[in-house]
Structure 1
Amino acid sequence: MELSVQGKQINVGDALRAHVQEKLEDLNAKFFNRAIDATVIFSREGHAFFNAHVSIRIGKNINVVAEAEDTDIYAAFDQAAVKLAKQLRRYKNRLRDHHRRAEDMPDDTILQARSYTIAPEQDDEDTKESSGEQAPIIVAEMTTDILTLSVSTAVMHMDLMHQNALLFRNESHGGLNMVYRRPDGHVGWVDPVGNGLSAHKEAAE
């Protein structure tokens, strides 16, 4: 497993790198022993807290993300590692099955799309009057993969990546779907009319 340990305006010493490597290798050995690479980024949250953001690629198109913060940088990472273990334990059996299916999945089941990061809009009083709609200001552009998944697997991917929503192609009909985390904690599922599977109730984990 390739490992990258980075610090944002923080010096990451050899002792911390060794601690991170030992923890993640133990985690990898416990769950599948198939992790491809991992990235750990440490940053400072204000003056009191350290933040540890951990991302591990454990297979084809499967990323597991966790983060935590603490006044001690080692404790911040350890808490993030505990969250990773909890996620992997929760989906252990389904991940094994997904690994087997992913190996046989043809490349044409993945749809490539452009992903944009848009700058926040300014308040009307801070902008000059103008006629017509203003185009959004794009601050970043990248390529992203839209995977072909079942609804339950899409929910798993969303949880593992610690995201609030996930766009995917429904493997039942090939149409675009979205799952998202609702404010009440349930999972919402959007299946547009015309996909062949409309009028579904919201899926819950």
Structure 2
Amino acid sequence: MKFTFACKKVTLNDSIKEYATKKFSKLDRYFKEEADAHITFSVEKDHRCVVEITIRGGNTLFRAQTEAPDGDMRAAIDEAQSYINRQIRKNKTRLEKRLREGAFPEAAVADAFDVAEEKEFDIVRTKRFSVKPMSAEEAILQMNLLDHDFFVFRNAEDGAISIVYQRKSGGYGLIETNDAD
């Protein structure tokens, strides 16, 4: 696994980075090709250590953001690794088809966490609507008027399908789509 580290509002020594590398390298067995892991370390005003990790393995993304209130960066790393492990185990059958055949030996699945795999995704409602061209600002206004957390629209500038959403930490996000290669 290839690692990229970023630090926000904190300077870390190499031992924390080595610890994160050791913990997240254990997930490498699930990927056919070498996966890329981007890890961001930060400390908030109230001394909470925050670890954000995004792992890209082929066309599959895993993401976790965890906090440790007592200023212990290692605890936040452990929690993030545990969270991604649970994501993988919860969806092991579907992921095995996408990641690597035989990546989930029974011993690796049956451990301290009791995670029940979903048998199938139960779609309980389908909505159809026309996607109108508009700017991101117009889409945010429409989203707020509807009191939704996200809004799908066609970007008036380039015609691509885009999504605006409200971020938990405040502000808005924009997801732009492009043609798959």
Q: TM-score, length-normalised on structure 1?
A: 0.47
**Equivalent in the alignment of 1:170:** none
**Equivalent in the alignment of 2:68:** 69
CA distance in 2, matches of 1:99, 1:78: 23
Contact 2:166 2:173 in 1 (8 A): no
**Equivalent in the alignment of 2:57:** 58
> Is 2:84 the counterpart of 1:84?
yes
Question: Deviation of residue 36 (structure 1)?
Answer: 2.0
**Equivalent in the alignment of 2:41:** 42
**Equivalent in the alignment of 1:26:** 26
The CA deviation string for residues 130-152 of structure 1, in whole angstroms up to 9 with x for no partner, is xxxxxxxxx986643588xxxxx
The CA deviation string for residues 6-57 of structure 1, in whole angstroms up to 9 with x for no partner, is 110111221111111111111222x345452011111112232111111111
> Which letter maps to 2:80?
A
Q: Cα–Cα, structure 1 residues 11 and 87, in superposed 2: closer, same or farther, change >3 Å?
A: same
Q: Report SS of the residue matched to 2:40.
A: strand
> Which letter maps to 1:84?
I
Contact 2:10 2:43 in 1 (8 A): yes
More strand by share: 1
**Equivalent in the alignment of 1:186:** none
Question: Deviation of residue 58 (structure 1)?
Answer: 1.9
The count of residues paired between Structure 1 and Structure 2 equals 118
> Which letter maps to 1:43?
S
Contact 2:44 2:50 in 1 (8 A): yes
Q: Report SS of the residue matched to 1:7.
A: strand
CA distance in 2, matches of 1:140, 1:82: 27
Contact 2:10 2:42 in 1 (8 A): yes
Match of 1:113 among 151, 160, 173: 160
**Equivalent in the alignment of 1:164:** none
**Equivalent in the alignment of 1:144:** 177
Q: Report SS of the residue matched to 1:12.
A: coil
> Which letter maps to 2:160?
A
CA distance in 2, matches of 1:65, 1:24: 12
Q: Cα–Cα, structure 1 residues 95 and 52, in superposed 2: closer, same or farther, change >3 Å?
A: same
Contact 1:66 1:84 in 2 (8 A): no
Contact 1:113 1:143 in 2 (8 A): yes
> Is 2:15 the counterpart of 1:15?
yes
Q: TM-score, length-normalised on structure 2?
A: 0.53
Contact 2:31 2:99 in 1 (8 A): no
CA distance in 2, matches of 1:38, 1:15: 18
Q: Percent identity of the aligned residues?
A: 24
Q: Cα–Cα, structure 1 residues 96 and 44, in superposed 2: closer, same or farther, change >3 Å?
A: same
CA distance in 2, matches of 1:61, 1:83: 16
